[in-house]
Amino acid sequence: MKRLIVVRGPMGAGKTTLCQVLLPYLQPAFWLDGDWCWEMEPFTADEAMREMVMENIAFLLGQFLRAEGKDNVLFSWVLHEDAILEDLLHRLFPLRFSLHVFNLEPGEQALTERLQGDIARGAREEDVVERALERRRHYPGLRGEHLDTSRLTPEETAHVILEKLGKQ
């Protein structure tokens, strides 16, 4: 059975880097970063745009889950509410797959330091720290495996996930 592996966490938690590390271990696999579906100028986050993004993500995930020859579908996105994940899963009905959800939860200090490094490199805007810390508060109550990544490298986090998936 295909596996849908969801990696979620606040901005700066390391989702993208982790998925880059994980992907070769999970092959044959697809990877979709939900942020790719939000790339637009100017950025608009109204209800119509949110609906379009959810439809696009569900379509791509569905295509990946239907594709022959790829056993794993890796999906990374902030997903700070279970309702957003449930909405996506509802859109994927009646496809059959096993679901594995991993919540990356670095501590407040580690998250702030990572984001400040990104800001210093020009990779993120100043307001990201406040937004990420607000979203961070949601994860402890969400479904899935909770991983404190404060002191883990992306490689170490990947190995924890692979062990939980039975891939090591």
Domains of the chain, residue spans = 3-164
**pLDDT at position 44, please?**
87
Say which residue the tokens 């990947």 belong to. Answer: 158
Q: What global pTM score does this model have? A: 0.95
| Residues 52-88: tens digit of each pLDDT | 999 999 999 999 999 999 999 999 999 999 999 999 9
Superfamily of domain covering 3-164: P-loop containing nucleotide triphosphate hydrolases (3.40.50.300)
**pLDDT at position 72, please?**
97
21, 158 in Cβ contact below 8 A? yes
Rounded to whole angstroms, the Cα distance separating 154 from 118 reads: 16
Q: What is the mean pLDDT of the chain?
A: 95
Rounded to whole angstroms, the Cα distance separating 146 from 154 reads: 15
